[in-house]
Every structure is written in structure tokens, then in C-alpha cells.
Amino acid sequence: MNAQPDAAIVVSNVTVSYGAKRALDDVSLTVPAGASFALLGPNGAGKTTLISVLCTLRRPDRGSAAVAGADVVRMPTQARRSIGVVFQDSSLDDRLSAWENLEFHGLVYGMPKKRRRTMIEAALALVELEEWTHDIVRSFSGGMRRRLEIARALLHEPRILFLDEPTVGLDAQTRQRIWQYLETLRRERGLTVLTTTHYIEEVEDADSVCIIDQGRIIAQDTPAALKERFGQRWLTVLPQDQEAADAILASVPQVRRLGAQRLALPAEDEAATDAFLSTFRDRLSEVRFQPPTLESVFLSLTGRELRDRADGQRDAEKAAGRRGGQR
């Protein structure tokens, strides 16, 4: 692997397979130090597998990867000292207090007692959990647990922070607060942040967005450049019944399925769009225009929505976010 002194993360031709399924297929990317870098892709695209490789949890079958200059296979201990990780699923010990969870993390990283205490106090203050320092984590809301996990990931002052779907199931206010913490740290510490997420709005301000699907990188650039190059205006519709859906599919060659029921068609041609609506308006339950966005970029490149999930699952996540509380 060629040395790249200004790069926080370098991935070269990485391939990972699980049996016959190829989770990552010859993936290469570079993340500059101090950058905000986003991986976008549906469930099963390979995002979590790539995070696992970079966190030294999974050896690549082929290729190489380095974080903060340390090869993740040949120098795993050095690599781990440079990174902090917030996994999609909580890994806190809910039988311990917030302080005890952070204390254990500091001990694992060999932090001296005085430094450990100072950093724990600072981390809890950052995520606004000082009031619950000695409360058992089992009593915490979903939002509080996620904030504590971020505090833990930052405790040993890593140079790179990996966030794997860090805000799934959280309410909008908590999500916004978490991103404010991270942006502050990125400015103050020069922290490199690599995020995987389903939430498009969370990465609109990222320095670079990498779109991954079926284990392959299909596009990478700034959000503005991706929208300029691949973004389209789409009309998404919900037919009233299967008969209406079949009629649309039969008469509009460019139409694409979105999940089980909704359909999408390009809306750049106003005359064609008007003609479509004139024909089918009375057979549609929902009509929505979607301007060029990162979501439309993904739709244009893959023919599918980024949030490749059933509406029921989406509703369940929203409900979970409401239950997560605002504490």
C-alpha cells in the first residue's frame, strides 16, 4: 500500500466474502484526515462489513486497508488505538453506571488514572449526561445510551471516528444534537468522521459521499457534485390498486418500482409528466415530486430507493425514536 501522509483511511482493492456471497467486491477509497466522509447504501450493501475491516474485526480476503497509517492486518493494535467506534447495535454494559462504562473503556486503553478522570468528566459534559453520571445505564433512554456510546468512543481521543448507523431509531432532536457534538469535535480536534447512514439529511454537508451497492462503490464525490452529475427530478406515485399499478407499468417504460407498491418515473420532461398525470391522476392515492437529492442520485444509479425497507419498518423506527425520549 502506498503511503499517503494526508490520508486518515486508505482502502485498496478490498474483497470480503461470506460463503458464496461477496459482501465487498474490490473496494478502494481514500479519506483525507479531518474529513467528514459518508457511506450511503441500503441494508446489505457492504457498509458494515467495510467498517468491520477498518476496525480490525474482519480480515479482508484480498486487498489491504490502513487507518492513521497503520495496516489493519499487520498492525491491528496500533490501528485500534487511533480509532473510536459507535456500532449500530448498543454495546454498553447496562448493569453499570455511565461513569463505570467509561472507566472500563479507559482502563482497556491504558489511560492513566488522572487523565482518565479528566476525560470522563469532559466526555460526559460534551454529551450532556453529567446529571446521570452514576445512574445505571439500564434506566437510560435510547438517545441517552447513544450519547454515552459516543462519549465512550471519544474518550481515548482517537484520530478517526467510525459511526455505523449511529442515529437509527432516535428522535429528530436527539439526532440533531449528536451531529452538533460531532461537528464541534471535528472542528476543534481535526477528527476524521466516517459515517454509514440511511438518513440523507445527515450527510448533506459531508465533505465526500461514497455510494455503495451490492459490495461495489458506484459513485463518490461531494454531495453537490453527485447531485449535479446524477440527480434527477422524479415523480413518485402510489397507485390506488394493483390494476392501476399494472396499467402504469405497461404504459410507461421508464417507470421504476419502489418497494411493493410505490412507483417512480423521471419528471424532467414537463409535457410527458403532465400527460401522465392527466391520464392516471384519478387512479393515484399519492403524488410527490422529488427534486435532485442524494436520494434521487441513488435512485438514478440503482433503480431503487436508498431506504430499501417496508413502510411498516419505517414506522416502527419512528415509534422507537419517540420512545427514545428527549432527556
Write the DSSP string, 278-299. HHHGGGEEEEEEE-S-HHHHHH
Q: What is the pLDDT of residue 312?
A: 36
Q: What is the pLDDT of residue 56?
A: 95
Q: Residue 135: inside a domain, yes or no?
A: yes
Q: How far apart are CA 294 and CA 204, in angstroms?
A: 8
**Residues 174 and 305 grouped into a single domain:** no
Along the chain (327 residues), what's the average pLDDT of each consecutive run of 10 residues?
72 95 95 93 87 95 96 95 90 94 95 95 91 95 90 93 83 81 84 86 88 92 90 87 92 83 86 91 89 80 62 38 41
Q: What is the pLDDT of residue 228?
A: 86
Q: What is the pLDDT of residue 220?
A: 93
Structurally, how many domains does the chain consist of? 2
Q: What is the pLDDT of residue 184?
A: 84
Q: What is the pLDDT of residue 165?
A: 83
Among 226, 257, 279, the domain boundary falls at: 226
CA angle 220, 224, 229 (to 5 degrees): 65
**Residues 39 and 160 grouped into a single domain:** yes
If residue 27 lies in a helix (H) or strand (E), which one and from where to where? strand 21-32
Among 174, 192, 226, the domain boundary falls at: 226
**Residues 106 and 166 grouped into a single domain:** yes
Among 208, 226, 244, the domain boundary falls at: 226
**Residues 98 and 136 grouped into a single domain:** yes
**Residues 158 and 16 grouped into a single domain:** yes
**Residues 96 and 174 grouped into a single domain:** yes
Q: Residue 213: inside a domain, yes or no?
A: yes
**Residues 187 and 258 grouped into a single domain:** no
Residues near 113 by beta carbon (within 8 Å), at least 6 away in sequence: none
**Residues 295 and 168 grouped into a single domain:** no
Q: How far apart are CA 182 and CA 168, in angstroms?
A: 16
Domain membership of residue 258 as a residue range = 228-321
**Residues 195 and 255 grouped into a single domain:** no
Q: Which CA distances in Å does 308 have to 40, 264, 265, 302?
A: 12, 14, 17, 11
Q: What is the pLDDT of residue 307?
A: 59
Q: What is the pLDDT of residue 311?
A: 36
Whether 198 contacts 307, CB under 8 Å? yes
